[in-house]
């Protein structure tokens, strides 16, 4: 008795490191066990900001760094979409794509926190961080994701992390 082959989507990228203003080139390959009616096939360039804050625990004797708690929040601050195909019946095939990374993509990342917080709150956080009163940091992660949207079923998707070089 054989195994039933699972449908899958595979994302291929020519590179994993890019400069602002450059092109992300790649392809999406569909490996389906039967033709499939789907709403769309899209590729996304996603910018995610991760903000971590260390919350110290205090106990008898004061500060306990070893037992501190870390709060983490993730925000999508950039989401560029390229539609490769619309509503149709999909079969085993490949689609090529190119996504242009905006020249000012790193500025968009830097401005995100300032836009989300009031000016006073942002100034306080920067000041507290500089004085080591508050331990928080932020990190950007970048992804390319391919997604086949299937009505009333789980979408087929694959995500790959890329690096933006400054």
pLDDT in tens, the chain (166 residues): 456 678 999 999 999 999 999 999 999 999 999 999 999 999 999 999 887 776 665 555 555 555 566 677 788 889 999 999 999 999 999 999 999 999 998 888 777 766 666 566 666 666 656 555 556 667 889 999 999 999 999 999 999 999 999 7
Q: In what order do the strands lie in the sheet with 135-149?
A: 17-18, 156-164, 135-149, 40-59, 62-85
| Helices 119-130 and 105-116, packing angle to 10 deg | 100
Report yes or no on 3 lying in a domain.
no
Residue 63 β-bridge partners = 58
Round to whole Å and give the CA distance between 22 and 165: 11
- Say how many domains are in the chain: 1
62 dihedral zone (left: phi>0; alpha: psi -120 to 50; beta): left
Helix residue ranges, H only, 68-161: 105-116, 119-130
Cα–Cα distances in Å, from 86 out to 7, 36, 146, 153?
19, 13, 14, 17
**pTM for the structure as a whole:** 0.78
Report yes or no on 1 lying in a domain.
no
What range does the domain containing 48 cover? Answer: 8-160
Report yes or no on 76 lying in a domain.
yes
Q: What is the CATH number for 146?
A: 2.60.40.640
């Amino acid at each position: 008795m054989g195994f039933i082959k699972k449908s899958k989507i595979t994302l291929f990228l020519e590179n994993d490191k890019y400069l602002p203003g450059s092109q992300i080139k790649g392809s999406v390959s569909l490996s389906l066990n039967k033709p499939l009616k789907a709403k769309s096939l899209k590729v996304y360039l996603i910018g995610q900001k991760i903000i971590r804050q260390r919350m110290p625990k205090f106990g008898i004797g004061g500060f306990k760094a070893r037992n501190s708690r870390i709060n983490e929040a993730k925000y999508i601050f950039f989401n560029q979409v390229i539609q490769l195909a619309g509503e149709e019946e999909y079969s085993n095939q490949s689609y090529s794509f190119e996504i242009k990374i905006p020249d000012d993509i790193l500025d968009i990342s830097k401005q995100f926190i300032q836009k989300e917080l009031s000016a006073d709150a942002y100034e306080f956080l920067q000041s507290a961080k500089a004085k080591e009163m508050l331990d928080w940091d932020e990190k950007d992660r970048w992804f390319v994701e391919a997604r086949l949207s299937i009505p009333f079923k789980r979408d087929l998707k694959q995500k790959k992390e890329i690096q933006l070089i400054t």
